[in-house]
Amino acid sequence: MMIVLWIFLLVVLLSAALAGLSAAPWLPTLPSQRKHLLDQLKLQPGQTVVDLGCGDGSMLFAVARRFPEVICTGYDISLLPLFIAWGRKLLFFKTYKNVHIRFGDLFKQDCQNANIVFIFLLSKCYPKLLTSLKGKVAPNAQVIVEAWPLPNLEPQETLKAEGLLPVYIYTGTIFRA
């Protein structure tokens, strides 16, 4: 029994290490930052938000509470935050019926159906991210990037507020193939 537990812990740790090396460690967006971001969003029922590297899903759960009819999908490869997200979804399945948290590599996702793509990752992964998203974001989508701007690309809008990380908003056209 103990050996199973150790293997499980090892896999959880390895998945966290892999995520840190791949794009960023798990660091949830702060509640004040989330609120600031949510205040900017204009979403209609049925529209879709994707969080690439969703962690424990806090961003998507916050979107779902504000916009219950919006479809929220998040991808992560780190197991600990994923378990927390799945647990939250199970506990509050009615509130979060439109939130979908998936185990998956953010570099392999197609975001064509997303109206908003949310990104909070280390800038070291941006070159790979830009290549992976080429042709996979709808032209009219908004790509919302927290903390560090995408290299050599002009944001449509930059949000700055005291005590918060800057947020860069890009149009999906910059990801055209």
Contact positions toward ligand SAM, by CB under 6 A? Answer: 19, 22-24, 26-29, 51, 53-55, 58-59, 75-78, 81, 105-107, 120-121
Q: Which is nearer to ligand SAM, 81 or 155 (CB)?
A: 81
> Is the separation of the CB atoms in 43 and 37 below 8 Å?
no
Q: Which is nearer to ligand SAM, 45 or 87 (CB)?
A: 87
Q: Which is nearer to ligand SAM, 76 or 126 (CB)?
A: 76
- For helices 58-66 and 31-40, the axis angle rounded to 10 degrees is 40
Q: Which is nearer to ligand SAM, 17 or 154 (CB)?
A: 17
Q: Of all residues in this chain, which one has the CB nearest to ligand SAM in the complex?
A: 53
CA distance linking residue 161 with residue 165, whole number of Å:
7
**E-strand stretches of the chain:** 48-52, 71-76, 99-103, 116-119, 142-146, 157-159, 167-171
Smallest separation, CB 83 to ligand SAM (Å): 12
At 110, give phi and psi (nearest 5°).
Answer: -100, 120
Contacts of 154 (CB under 8 A, 6+ apart): none
Q: Which is nearer to ligand SAM, 48 or 78 (CB)?
A: 78
Smallest separation, CB 3 to ligand SAM (Å): 26
Smallest separation, CB 18 to ligand SAM (Å): 7
Indicate the residue type of 47: Q
> Is the separation of the CB atoms in 172 and 144 below 8 Å?
no
